Every structure is written in C-alpha cells, then in structure tokens.
Structure 1
Amino acid sequence: MTDTTTIKEPQKRSLATLAGLIPFLSPYKRQFVLAGLALIVAAGATLAIPYAFRQMIDLGFGGKGISNPTHIDLYFLALFGVACVMGVAAAARFYMVSWLGERVTADLRSAVYSHVVTQSPQFFETTKTGEVLSRLTADTTLIQTLVGTSISMALRNGLLFAGGLIMLFVSSAKLSVIIIVMLALVVLPIIMFGRRVRKLSRASQDRVADASAMAGEILNAMPTVQAYTHETIESQRFSGAIEHSFQTALQRIRARSLLTMMAILLTFGAIVFVLWLGAHAVIQGRMSGGELGQFILYAALVASSIGALSEVMGDTQRAAGAAERLLELLAAKSPVQSASHPAALPPRTAQGAALILDDVAFHYPSRPDTLSLTHFSLSINPGETIAIVGPSGAGKTTLFQLLMRFYDPQQGTIKLDGVDIKSLSLHTLRNAIGIVPQDTVIFSANAMDNIRYGRVGASDDEVIAAAKMAAADEFIQRLPNGYQSFLGERGVRLSGGQRQRIAIARALLKNPPLLLLDEATSALDAESERVVQGALEAAMVGRTTLVIAHRLATVQRADRIIVLEHGHIVETGTHASLVAQGGLYASLAALQFNTDSQPSIR
C-alpha cells in the first residue's frame, strides 16, 4: 500500500512555491487594494522630494531666488506638505499590510491544523508531532513576515526603483545609461547567492523542526527520563540538536550577509563612479547644481531600493521554504476519507448495533510484510457482548482501529447494521462507536470538560450521571474544586485508575450503540474494578460491546469469547467450552490462574 500521507521532499524548490498562498490572500482583495493605494501615494511622495530639492536649489538659491525670499518659503512649505502626505500614506500602508500579515497567518495556521487533525494515524507513523508544531509556529511566522512586511517592502522599493530610474533619465540620459549598465552587473551575484540563501534557509528550518520534535518527545516522557536518570543525556542530545541548528543557521546568515555586502558595495560603487562623472559635468556647465542634486537623490533612491530588495529577497527565500513545508502538510492526503455520497445508518434499535467482518486482511503501512489480521471473519448480533483475548500482538487493538476506520483493510469488508462502513461518513461511523482505549487520554482541562468531551452538548447533570456510572464521581468530588478542578497536562494530577474512570465516563456519556473496551479496567484496583465492572455491565444493556479482556470476571460474563493468534481466529466459544477444549485459551487461563491472585488473561 502506498503511503500517501508521507510528507515528501519536493522535486523543485523555487519562489513559485509562494503561489500556493494565493488562496489565503484572495479573500482580502479590498485590503490589498487599500494597501496598494497607500503604497503608491507614499512612493509618489518620496519620488517628488528630489524634484522639490532641485527646484529649491536652482530657483530658491539661484540668482532669481535671492531677490524673492517668497520662493524659498513656498518650496519649504511644499516640501513639508509632501512629507505630511508621505507620513500619512506610510502609516496607512503599515497598518493595512500588518493587518494582512496577521490575518493571513491566522487563516493559514487554522487551515493547516484543521487539515492535520483529519489525518489518519498512518500520517503520524511517518511525521513527528514536534515537526508539525514547528511548522505551525516558526514557519507561519515567516509567512507573516512575508505578507506583513516583505511584500509591501518589495512593492514599495520596486516602485521607487522604477520611478527613480525614470527620473534619472529625465535628469541625465547619458549618466543613467552608464549607471544602469553598472547596476546590471550587480544582479548576477545577487541571484547566485540568493539561491544559496534559499537552500540554507530550508535546511535551517528543518534543523529547528528536528530539535522541536526531540524536545516534544522528551517533555512528554519526563517521568521515564527521570526514572532512568537520563536528564543530563537528554540535555546533551538537545544541546547537540540546537548546536546543529545554530551551525546551519550560521551558514545561512553568512551567505545572506555576503549577499547584502555585495549588493551594497557594488551598487554604491557604481553610483559613486557616476556621480564623479556628474560632478565634472557641472564644472563644465553641462548640468546645473539642482539637476546634479536631483540626480544624486534619485540615484540614492535607486541604490537603496536595490539594497532593500536584496534584503527582501532573503526574507522571501526563507518564506518560500516555510511555504513549501506548510503546503506539503496541506497537500498530505489521508487514505481514509469519508464517502463522497455517504449512506445513512438505519434507526438505532433497543438491542444495539449488528457488526459483520468478512474475510478481513490488514497490515500496517509501516510494516507491509507483516499481516496484523488475516482472513478474519466474524458476525456479531445486536446486544451481544464479545470478549477478545489472545497473546500480545495477536491483532486485538488492530481490530478496534479498523472498526473506527483509523485504517482501512487491504481486503474484506466491515459492515455496521448492514452498511459497509466505507460508505458512511467518518462522523456518522465514529459517532456510533464509543471507545475506552488502553492508553487513557486526559486533556489539559477540568474534570467536567474532560468527561463532556464524549458529547459536547451534554448538560452538567448528564456529565455527573456518567461519572457516577463510571465510579468517578466520588474521587472527583474530593478534588479541590470538584468538577471544575484542573486535571493537569495528560492528567498528571490523577492516578492511573482515576484517569481510566474519566475515560469510561466519557464513553458512557456518548451513549453509542457499539461500545469498544480496550482493557478498560486494566489500571483499576480490585475494589474500583468491582464498582466499574458493575457500571460497565449496566452500560452494556441496549448496546453491542466488544471487550479486549484480561480479567476472567469480564471474560466469563461475555456471550462469546474470540481467541486470536497471529491475526486470525483460532477458537470461539464460552469460557467453559474453551477451557474444555484444552487449546490456547485453556493454556492462557491456566497460566493466569497459577501466576495471579486475581486470574486474568492477556
């Protein structure tokens, strides 16, 4: 099976990548037009200043101006008026482009996150969550810089460059031709080094993502790290990753610094040479002092525009790398998709859901040569409770993942109430299934919100009722703020058994026709298990239940026991009949009887 969710290295990297951001920019055409108008006005005012200086020099300080001081007053007032227009327009431009930068970045982050959370677990087999977080933060910040600053700066300096160039020809065509030829020689090294900066920018961002992924993994496993006294080792590993990131960034900084230095030196070197020629032209009477002053100011504008454009090019190269990485995330397609024209489930019955698995075969995308389930067929009646047992790696949890459509089997069909689950929308399917996983997930929220995660619209009374059914109400009431108590990141303020009861309450609140219990009482002590087991038995009424069981009490109460080994069913029956057969189940049961004061089956 092709891994369609893997983030692939692009075959070609270029600034054309930024075209992928157009869908995020197009909704804000009005703001772009307003920013463009402000930019044009500000650039026009800037280009008017050198001409005003020429008039002031030639007319205000020339022979005609000395006898009429009013000229000087008028020219200075006009110059101040131009500065006012430029200031207002620049402020308007800054506000609009900054607003656009923040707005587009927010939209991009939301789009990437919304897309990532729809990916199947296959995506996260090949992509580290730390890398995704790096792209959501560091890379989107670079896009914000591009939209909120770099694009505006590029357009502004592009206008100044074009307008300044035109006015240079108006001032002196001969000097302008010379300076253009010399400036053309500056472009080649800028392009060459620009490519190197872009490659190093992508490499630098990748190293930062690697370090973020490492930090996220270690911070989520701090108890294990500290239990094995690996604090120093992990600090050294992270420091090494950061140092690698720094060295890569240093190469980018050196290349960009060299790019900036070459652009400035070559540009201003050309200008100084041309001004030397202009000075001789003034001495020889071929230019006025005002014309030379105007030419100098326009040449400075052109030169500073080129320098600014080289800076912007560096930011743009980095943003291109960031956009490339973000667009890769957005382009990742999950192999598990809702049906384009989804079917509907029949009305729910009082007994629960019917489930049929027909000749199912499945292997994980990351392990294509190892079948987790093979020729698996099973028919479950509404309201039936099925216990699934077997040694570790037999395919028990895999079965649950296929039922939830976290993955699709490579062969066979799965039907819920007679409807192929592939023809259902993912929302419809998963809304009909409640699951209590073996690895309980507790969110950084209070107890009330953690349980309400099972059904967002549930009232407080319904949440409390579910907690009572799961034997969680008593310990929640003892928390400092009761149901409003913050449970800590990943539920660190609770014991393992308490976390599991929260998860059970969440599933009970959902009230689905099909209930999946993946060793739901594995972290409970004997007393809590007895209470929760009673609650689960009550919850099983009116619904179909599949239990990955390890306690004999659960197994013995099941309508049927399915014994898995190497991905296929090897035995089916009740506890008594299977023990009598003397097969795998009997050996597992005997082993647990001999090794556990409270017998259990793995």
Structure 2
Amino acid sequence: MTLHCLPSTDITELPATVSNSTENPETQTTAPAEKSAWKTLSGLLPFMAPYRGRVILAGSALLVAAAATLTIPTAFRFLIDRGFSLPANVATDASASATAMADSGIAAGQVNSVFLGLFAVALILALATALRYYCVSWLGDRITADLRQAVYSQVLRQDPVFFETLRTGEVQSRLSSDTTLIQSLIGSSISLGLRNSLLFVGALGLMIWTSPHLASIIVGLLVLVVVPIMVFGRRVRKLSKDSQDKLADTGALANETLNAMSTVQSYVRENMESDRYSQATNAAFDSAIRRNRNRSYLTALAITLIFGIIVFVLWLGAQAVIDGRMSPGLLTQFMLYAALVAGSTGALAEVLGDVQRAAGATERLLELLHAQPAIASGKQSLVASSTADVAGLGARVDFNNVNFSYPSRPGEQALEELSFTIEPGQTVALVGPSGAGKTTVLQLLLRFYDPRSGSISLDNSAIDSLKLNELREAIGFVSQDSVVFSDDVYANLRYGKPDATDEEVRQAASDAQALDFIERLPDGFNTYLGEKGVRLSGGQRQRLSIARALLKNPPLLLLDEATSALDAESERKVQMALERAMSGRTTLVIAHRLATIVNADRILVMDEGRIIESGNHQELLAGNGLYAKLASMQFNAAEFHPAVEAVRVANSPC
C-alpha cells in the first residue's frame, strides 16, 4: 500500500503473482455458474468476521483520512477569496497592500492560523493513513493465513477421487499464488478502493454544493463513461482467469517433472522437458500480455474520458469567472474537487483490475474450500463394537457381495460379487495376477472408496457406519511404496503414534529389523532423512514404514507387498518381525512372492475381481489351479532363493 495525501493518478501494476490451474477438463473441479467479481469475493467475508474490531478501526481511520482530504479545497477557497484577492483600485506598493488587507478585515495572523490549520489537517491525514495501512496490512496477512489453513485442511480430508481429477501441483499453486493475490487485494487494493470511493462520493457531493450547474454536467457525462469501463472490466476478468489457468500448467508440469528427475535423466529427456516447460511458460506469457494489454486499454480509456470531461467543465468554469458569475476561489475549490474525482476514478479503474484478478483466484480457492469428500464419516464409535479387539484377538473382517468400479473407470468392474470372512487373529493372504483387485480390497477397507453395492464389516459393524477416524486408527497400513517424510527418524516413526515414548519407538524399530541401520546413521534417531527419505535405501525406507505401522499397534494390519523392496537377507529379518507382529491381530497380506505367505492361515486367489480359489498353501498346491501355476513359475524362476527353495524342499515328495 502507498500513502497519499492526495490521490495519485499514476497507474501501477501490483506484483503479478498469479495462481495455477489447468485447461485440461479432466483436472478441473466442477465450475460453478459465473458470478460477479464482488459476489465471488463475498465468499471471503466469513474469514473477516472474527476480526471485526480491526475492520472497524481501519474503516474509522479511512473515514477520518477521507474527511481530512476533502477539507483542503475549502481552505484554499477561503485563502484565495478572502486572503489574497485585493480590490482592483488598490495600489501595488507594499504599504498600500497591507492597508488594503487590513481594511478588508483579514489580518496576517488569520492567514497564519489558516496555514496552521492546514498543517493540522495534514497531520491528522498522515496518522489516519498510517493507522489504516497497518490495520489493512494486518488483515491481509491474517486472513490469507487463515484461508490457507482452511483450504489445506479441507484438501487433506478429500478422498482419492478428488486427487484423480486435480493435480497436486495445482493444489500447491492455489495455496501459494492465489492466496498471494488475495493478500494483495485485502491488504492493499480494497483499502485503496474504499478510500478512493469515499473521495469520489465526497468530492462529487462537494462539487455539486460548490457549483450545481457545472457538477450536473460532469455527472451527466460520467454516466456515459461507466458503460465502456464496465465492458472492458468484464473482459479483463476473463483474461485474468485465463492467465491464471495458463500458469497452472507451468506449475503442475514443473512439479511433475521434478518429482520424476531420475526417470527424466535416465532417459536423457532434459531438453525435451525444458522445451515443454518453455512452451507452457510462453503460453502463460502470451495470456498475461493479452490481460495487461486490455487492462492498459481500460486504464487509458477511463483516464482519457474522465479527464476530458473535467477539462471541458473547467473551461466552462473559467468562462464563468471571466464573466463574473463565479469567484476565483470558488473555481479553485471546484477544480480541486474535480481533481479528487478524477484521481479517485483513475485509482478505482486500477483497483477494478486487481479486483477482477483476485476474484478469479478467490473462485479457485473457494472451489477447494467447498469441495466435499464423497466418503462421509459414520456416527458409530468403533470402541463400543470392537469386542474382539478388547479380547486381544484382533478384528473380524467381512466382505459380503461387494461390487466396485473406480470412479475414473466406471465401465470396468474392479471387484465383482466379492465375499469372504477373516476371523479375529487370522492371517489371510491375497494373491493373483496384476489387476486382479487385491489392492482395491485394502483401499475399500480403509474407506478410500465405498463399494457400489454389497457391504464391508469390521467386528460386525458396517464400516460406513463407523466414525472414519476411528476406523482408520484401528488399521495399520504398509504400502509397497514406502513413504518417508522430510524429517528425522523419530518424527517419521511417531507418525504412527504421536505420543509414543522413545522406548516404544526403539522397540518398533527393533521389531522391524531397522534398529541396527538407524543407530549407524550420523545422528541416530535424530538424523534428518531428506525429502522422501533420499538418504536411505529402498529397503531401509520400507523397514521404517513397517516400524511405523507396528508402533501404531492396530487390531487390523494391512500389508501391500510390504517386503517388495527388501533384499533376501532383509526380507528374512522383516518376515520374522512381521510374524511376531501378526500375533494377536488380524492381518491381510498382499503378496507376489509366494514364499512370504506359505504360513498364512488362508490364501485367497483372485482374478478379475473374483475369488477363484481359497485354502492354505498345501491345499492350493494340491488343487493344481492358478495358485499352483504361479508357485511353479516362481519356483522355477527363483530356485536359488533360500526361502523358495525351502518351500520347494518341504513340499517335495522325495
């Protein structure tokens, strides 16, 4: 924000940090019906409500500053008409002038008091403007922080369908660039807009009081100016949103590429990715140029029309002074008020452009803020129903005629009439070819999605009737893609149990066969692991993920190929740890390495979303079905793998 005693007619561009979206329809959230900029911005009012005191204080300072500014022209009129205007027959020498001044009833002391009054007005204006600046800047920063927190919190509660249709890079951009536009609007543009609106209305009213005839001419001509300004204003808003959308492509593209640098470099595609980014940035630049060009047209049009009107009316006023129908002081007062009207109008034209841009950013943020997850939490508490868990036996799981298709692929059946039961304390493995629906089963248990038909129960309670946070607290999940946060080891492990003691953390690490390598790190458990755990090997990251799940100590453990990233020695150690961890809880395991699930209580063989075989390892081998075929392929392909060889020997008829 800039501090002005009198409004400036200079048109300056605020920092053009714009947000990211995308033109791809598959990456757009549902677009609401187009609304006016001010109606869109009204969505920010709930964020201003808690700070009414600051808003009132800023508004009061704004009124005082505007009133102080509007008193200045009247003071100049008084000085010119009563202090500096001499009778025409007075001599020009100093003594005669002083005598005339005395005769006219104005003493030098009165003139001095007027200037002292002007200085007092300027002081009031300065203090009020400074107070307004502080208050609105504080509001801009505070509301922007609250908005970011609210949007981010809402995004965290969305289901996977949301992230199938909106790239994470775009979400990040909206949280940063779009909120920066809103911060600029609240902390600067809105204040300037209100200030200049008050000056416009006040100066226009005082113009009418000063000279109704000249003011009526200005008002009549200003009405004709509004129409073209509004037309250009709408166009600027559309172009501003288009510019934001174009920049979304650059942000999402950069985010995607930087997260796949190893692939980019291994395929030697640096130049290709650089070209793609250049094309996206040039497209954003072209869109920004169109926006700025039209905004320049809007500013030039507003200033030209308004100043043209004022110059014409002032010419009429000069003619009135020449004819003796108006005093010089009155014309000076009218001219100053006209200058205030012109300056405030030019500033409002600039603010209008900022408002249009911020409206587009607000619309995109409100889309995220108002997005509702398809997965709604139930009301039933899991504690009351988890009798099996109270007994320390783990949870009971029931799938009953479950049918499911992914929202992004509604015509493709992922699960079809799937039914099975896992008793408390059992270890059940899911095997089958890729795309059979194994991971889908785990995602439905975690309620990342809901089935299209059928039901899923945990301890005889339908999971869609349970409180979502309690359901997920009762489940430990280890995915095949190990997740490590850019923090130290303690923070990564305590993600499973934030209030865990150091001893509990160490025990979980030991159970996951991770304690040895952790203690060899430079700072042990306090070692910073880097973004996505880049300072660890794949096997080490996987063991941290397993330790995190063990620390959570849930009644139901889901393992999605949890040993896929481990070498043979680490796999053997982790398998032993998992066997201890499985004791006293229900475990559902997805396995491609059949050697890791030979001791499972039951193995469910899936294909095309159906269970086609069920039994333990020996029963399924004897059945000579798909499981036996998969086992035969693995035994032949990995005959030197110690675990597989042990299974083969154990089942050999010799």
Same fold, TM exceeding 0.5? yes
Which of 494, 519, 533 lines up with 1:491 in the alignment?
533
**Is the 8 Å Cα contact of residues 5 and 123 (structure 1) preserved in structure 2?**
no
Task: Give the distance between the partners of 1:441 and 1:222, measured in 2 at CA.
Answer: 18
Q: Pick from 81, 104, 114 the counterpart of residue 75 of structure 1.
A: 114
The answer for the alignment partner of 1:254 in structure 2 is 293
Give the structure 1 partner of residue 190 of structure 2.
Answer: 151
Q: CA-to-partner distance for each residue in 1:62-118, whole Å, 9 max, x for gaps?
A: 239833211220111000000000000000111111111111111111111000000
Q: Which amino acid aligns with 1:61?
A: F
Q: How do 1:31-50 and structure 2 match up within 5 A?
A: 31-50=54-73
Task: Answer yes or no: is 1:190 the counterpart of 2:190.
Answer: no
1:9 aligns with 2:9: no
Specify the code of the residue in structure 2 equivalent to 1:81. A
- Residue 103 of structure 1 corresponds to 142
Cα distance in 2 for partners of 1:132, 1:165 equals: 45
Q: 1:66 is matched with which residue?
A: 101
For the residues of structure 1 that align with 2:101 and 2:146, how far apart are their CA atoms?
60
Determine the structure 2 residue equivalent to 1:289: 328
Residue 134 (structure 1) shift? 1.1
- Contact 1:404–1:433 (CA under 8 A) maintained in structure 2: yes
The correspondence for 2:164, drawn from 125, 131, 138, is 125
Q: What is the deviation of 1:26?
A: 1.5
Which protein shows a greater Rg? 2
Alpha-carbon distance, 1:361 to partner: 0.7
* Partner-residue secondary structure (3-state), 2:598: helix
Structure 1 unaligned regions, length at least 5: none
Alignment of 1:521-532 (within 5 A): 521-532=563-574
Greater Cα shift, 331-340 or 304-313: 331-340
Query: What pairs up with 1:292-371 in 2 under 5 angstroms?
Result: 292-340=331-379, 344-347=384-387, 348=389, 349-371=391-413
Q: CA deviation at 1:9?
A: 2.1
Percent of aligned positions with the same letter in both sequences? 58
1:345 partner amino acid:
S
Q: CA deviation at 1:477?
A: 1.1
Determine helix, strand or coil for the equivalent of 1:497: helix
Residue by residue over 1:135-162, the C-alpha shift from the partner in whole angstroms, topping out at 9 and shown as x without a partner, is: 1111111111221112211211111011
The equivalent position to 1:55 in structure 2, one of 78, 82, 99, is 78
- The DSSP-based 3-state class of the residue aligned with 1:557 is coil
Structure 2 Cα separation of the partners of residues 4 and 209 of structure 1 = 14
Instruction: Name the amino acid aligned to 1:305.
Output: S
Q: Is the 8 A contact 2:428 2:588 kept in 1?
A: yes
5+ residue gaps, structure 2, are 1-24, 88-99, 648-654
| CA–CA separation in structure 2 for the residues paired with 1:351 and 1:173 | 90
1:519, 1:547 within 8 Å by CA — same for their partners in 2? yes
Q: 1:4 to 1:430 in 2, by over 3 A?
A: farther
- 8 Å Cα contact 1:5-1:335 kept in structure 2: no
Q: Given residue 486 of structure 1, which amino acid in structure 2 is its aligned partner? A: Y
- Kindly provide the amino acid, as one letter, of the partner of residue 66 in structure 1: M
Residue number in structure 2 paired with 1:396? 438
Across the two proteins, how many residue pairs are aligned to each other?
599
Question: Which piece of structure 1 moves more, 35-44 or 63-72?
Answer: 63-72
Give me the whole-angstrom Cα distance separating, in 2, the residues matched to 1:108 and 1:4. 25
Contact 1:260 1:310 in 2 (8 A): yes
Residues 321 and 342 (structure 1), Cα distance of their counterparts in 2 relative to 1, 3 Å cut:
farther
Residue of structure 1 equivalent to 2:213: 174
Q: Secondary structure at the match of 1:358?
A: strand
* Equivalent AA in structure 2 for residue 27 of structure 1: P
Matches within 5 A, 1:574-593: 574-593=616-635
For residues 381 and 174 of structure 2, the distance between their equivalents in structure 1, rounded to whole angstroms, comes to 33
**Mapped partners of 2:385, 2:332: distance in 1:** 81
Pick from 461, 467, 473 the counterpart of residue 425 of structure 1: 467
Residue 414 of structure 2 aligns to a residue whose secondary structure is strand
Query: Which of residues 531, 547, 560 is equivalent to 1:518?
Result: 560
Any idea what SS the aligned residue of 2:456 has?
Answer: strand
Give 1:463's match in structure 2, choosing from 505, 518, 528: 505
Residues 146-203 of structure 1, C-alpha deviations (whole Å, 9 max, x = no match) = 2111221121111101110111012111111111122222211110000000000111
Contact 1:190/1:263 (8 A) holds in 2 = yes
Indicate the residue corresponding to 2:416 in structure 1.
Answer: 374
Q: Which residue of 1 aligns with 2:494?
A: 452
Contact 2:386/2:395, CA 8 A, preserved across alignment: no
Shift of 1:342: 5.1
Q: Are 1:339 and 1:422, in contact at CA under 8 Å, matched by a contact in 2?
A: yes
Report deviation, 1:6: 6.4
Q: Is the 8 A contact 1:5 1:333 kept in 2?
A: no
